[in-house]
Amino acid sequence: MSAPDTFAQTAGGREDRAHREQGVRLNVEQASYAYSPSEQSAPTFTLGATSFQAREREIVAILGPNASGKSTLLRLITGTIAPLSGRVELDGEETSRLDVRMRAQRIAVVHQESPIVYPALAGDFVLQGRFPYGRALRFANPEDIEIARNALAQVGAEHLSKRTIGELSGGEKQRVILARALAQQPRLILLDEPTLHLDIGAQVELLERLRQLAKENRYTVVVVTHELGLAAEFADQVVLLQHGRCLRVGPPATVYQKELLEQVFDAPLDVELGPAGRPRVNLRARRGEDIT
Amino acid sequence: MRPLTLRRLLWTCGSLAVLLLASVVLALKLGAVPISVTDLLLDLGRIAIGRANELPTEYRLIVFDLRLPRILLGILVGAALSVAGASFQALLRNPLADPYVLGVSSGAALGSILALLIAPGFALVTPLGAFLGAIATIAGVYFLGRREGQLDSATLLLGGIISASFFSAIIMFLLTTLSGRDLRGMVFWLMGDLSTPVSAGTQWIFTVGLVAGIGAIYSTSADLNLLLTGEREAIHLGVDVTRVKLVVYVSASLLTALAVSASGAIGYVGLLVPHAVRLIFGSDYRLLIPASALCGAIAIVLADTLARTIVPPTELPVGAMTAMAGAPVFIYLLRRGLR
């Protein structure tokens, strides 16, 4: 598709789309992507057309086994890569076209914890979230410090501000990283496998906190995970991926079907409906005994 | 939370500048001919008000025509190498990175020698050759250090150390087979030495290059703070990573090239100084860059003074002093664990 073509379609389509989808903050529409080692060779991985929408205060879980395309979809949403076809929009703007600082003011990404090379105080680390708003040497002004302090308070980590990152526990570190994302004052928070290194108590705490933050601060939250149980418990919507294809989008109750999940995750399991209308997943050993 | 303020930045740099001045006075005083500090300060005052011709000729020759230019050169070299080291440490996310350890200094030295062989008459040939050598080496070592798209700390260092010894071997080969040409000595290129004077014109060019290089790196210092937490993270916090990396790689290579073409491959300054600065002042690059420049200058001035005076009347190369101090620190940092 040539560039003028795309423009014409975008300009024509935008107004009635905006009208039709009021309240939609994140709009992923038939977005696809292909990785190839070089321009001539065939792609080594493709993500087929994927669509879903998310409003403010909503939590979306992107769910799938390894190599299902979760990270690719995450990168499409953050705008670090542009979709091959389709579009990814945040409040009507294509995320891949925003400049890097603008993007950081709207989208915060929390990665799996990455090693810290030099010791930094947790408070200074959170202050880094103010970077996209500063100019030149970015000396922090009192407002920035106030925002960073509030961010730490929102994740219940004020007391950690004078500790160095290296001496924090996994759960504490995850909270500080989340606080840095909050300090960016984004509209959209993306989390990549946030529960990977956390014990079960810290996992539940993190997700409860996310749900509360999404409600209070009107964030849209997208969580990439392979934790079936946690996604069922906390997500408003689930996007189920396998081998680069988007299989199902919808609330957990409709996506969580025994045969579908067994096939996607290649494990025998049972799905039952919990008291709050949310599905519960139980793993079974192949011999048929319950192991959870 | 203890965010960096402009006030703290200026105070720190001001105090370090005073320390640098003190070490310059000390370096002027110490040497084969003893001179009292009071006389020295009075004479410096006289020079400052433009009455330099009142000084006794012989004395002026020793202190202001021999010692002072060497000290000024030491300041330039120390500042350049320390800032280059601090920059490489941020870009490669490796506390052990240093122009010498990464082989960039040896690459620059080889570049200068080759340039001198190809175009001996051309004025700026040494720094230019050094710059090309430095850029090519850092690109090569970066490439060697990548494994499955990730920068591997141990492989990177190994690649640097191997490159350094490979280039040193070629330098030895060239200098041995091409004896008789005006290529300066082996000790100069392999160890680093401040005893060869540079012309006033060259010194000016070096100063301008140094200010430009450090200035360019300093303009990205806030971005470097974020790069330290990872490239991906930096992008998502609003850093234009490609631009920052390009600016800093080119500038750090320029700084290394200037230092090497003026004084040969002085080792470990870029490792020692930023490490010490980090311990004392923290790792915020907005403070680390200028503080490293000043401390690097102080370190080289003092190391060279020691090298001149420790076994009189013989003078050691300054690189021997820095290696004696630097190698143990390198091993300590390595043992403490590559993360």
Residues in chain A within 8 Å Cβ distance of B5: 139
Residues in chain A within 8 Å Cβ distance of B225: 128
Average pLDDT over residues A250-256: 90
pLDDT at B183: 66
pLDDT band at A9 (very low <50, low <70, confident <90, very high): very low
Residue of B1, B232, B238 with shortest CB distance to A161: B1
Measured distance CA(A221)–CA(A61) in Å, rounded: 8
Phi, psi of B315 (to 5 degrees): -115, 130
Q: E strands of A11-160, at which residues?
A: 24-35, 45-55, 59-63, 85-90, 93-94, 107-110
Average pLDDT over residues A142-146: 89
Q: Is the pLDDT of residue A115 over 80?
A: no
DSSP B52: G
Q: E strands of chain B, at which residues?
A: 146-147, 150-151
pLDDT band at A290 (very low <50, low <70, confident <90, very high): low
| pLDDT tens, residue by residue, B147-200 | 776 777 788 888 999 999 999 999 888 888 876 666 667 777 888 888 877 777
**Residue B153 corresponds to which tokens in the numbers above?**
């700390």
CB contact under 8 A, B339 and A117: yes
Average pLDDT over residues A222-251: 91
User: Chain A within 8 Å of B170 (Cβ-Cβ)?
Assistant: no
CB contact under 8 A, B222 and A140: no
pLDDT at B339: 39
pLDDT at A4: 43
Measured distance CA(B86)–CA(B104) in Å, rounded: 14
Q: Is the pLDDT of residue A1 over 70?
A: no
Stretches where chain B sits below pLDDT 70 are 1-2, 32, 52, 55, 149, 179-184, 337-339
Average pLDDT over residues A74-83: 93
A108: nearest CA in chain B?
B236
Residue A127 contacts residue A147 (beta carbons within 8 Å):
no
- How far away is chain A from the Cα of B184, in angstroms, using its nearest Cα? 40
Q: Is the pLDDT of residue A48 over 70?
A: yes
| Among the ranges given (A55-69, A180-194, B114-128), the one the predictor scored with the smallest mean pLDDT | B114-128
- A71, A96, A100, best to mutate vs chain B, most B CBs in 10 Å: A100
Residues in chain B within 8 Å Cβ distance of A120: 229, 283
| pLDDT tens, residue by residue, A149-185 | 999 998 888 888 888 888 888 888 888 899 999 999 9
Residue A171 contacts residue A205 (beta carbons within 8 Å):
yes
| pLDDT tens, residue by residue, B44-59 | 777 777 776 776 777 7
Q: Which residues pair with A53 in a beta bridge?
A: A27
Instruction: Quote the pTM value.
Output: 0.84
Residues in chain A within 8 Å Cβ distance of B94: 117
Residue of A109, A138, A162 with shortest CB distance to B236: A109
